[in-house]
Every structure is written in structure tokens, then in C-alpha cells.
Amino acid sequence: EIVLTQSPATLSLSPGERATLSCRASQSVSSYLAWYQQKPGQAPRLLIYDASNRATGIPARFSGSGSGTDFTLTISSLEPEDFAVYYCQQRSNWALITFGQGTRLEIK
């Protein structure tokens, strides 16, 4: 089973700053990786699919990069509504979807 490890567990930043979130896979997942945002009491929202493609309606300040085992979600300039929990997810094997444990982005 492919394990996704996200770092850091918690990231404390201020609005306007740049956020860099990491997701590392225990083996290559090619570009079969997505990123989600989840706010308290809400369902997750798809941000990035296939490692680097923004989902419909997602602001340009969100970008994804990487392939193989190392991936990054970057938020170029944090807005107040961006403070949430972020998950990466892979499906290199059709029969198995796994999520990372999440990174909590909090206001400093």
C-alpha cells in the first residue's frame, strides 16, 4: 500500500504570506495525485487534480507541482478563507485510494 506523508502537520502563517505544503509518497504515484481543502463542518473541496491542474473555480493563487514521490501545494498569498486543513490523495492503483494525514494551516 502506498503511504502519503504530509508535512508539516501544522503550518502557522499570516494572511498575505506564501504557504508551501508537502506530500511525499512511499513509492511513485506518477502524477496521479490530488489536493483537497476542508473547513470545519464542511465536505472536502477539490483544489488540484493530476498533480498540477486547478479544479474548476479554484483561484490562481493555488498551484500544485511534482511527480513521482514528491509533491507540493503552494498558496501564493494567503487569504483569510484559506486557513483550513489540506489533504493530498493518490490513486496510482485503480483498486486503492489513499489520503495523506492532512496539514492544518492556521493563522499566526
Partner 1 sequence: EVQLVESGGGLVKPGGSLRLSCAASGFTFSSYSMNWVRQAPGKGLEWVSSISSSSSYIYYADSVKGRFTISRDNAKNSLYLQMNSLRAEDTAVYYCARGLGRVSIDYWGQGTLVTVSS
Which residues lie near partner 1 (CB under 8 A)?
32-34, 36, 38, 43-46, 49-50, 55-56, 87, 89-91, 94-102
In the bound complex, what is the minimum distance in angstroms from residue 16's beta carbon to partner 1? 28
In the bound complex, what is the minimum distance in angstroms from residue 94's beta carbon to partner 1? 7
Question: What is the three-class DSSP state of 22?
Answer: strand
β-strand pairing of 53-54 with 62-67 = unpaired
In the bound complex, what is the minimum distance in angstroms from residue 25's beta carbon to partner 1? 13
What are residue 72's DSSP bridge partners? 22, 65
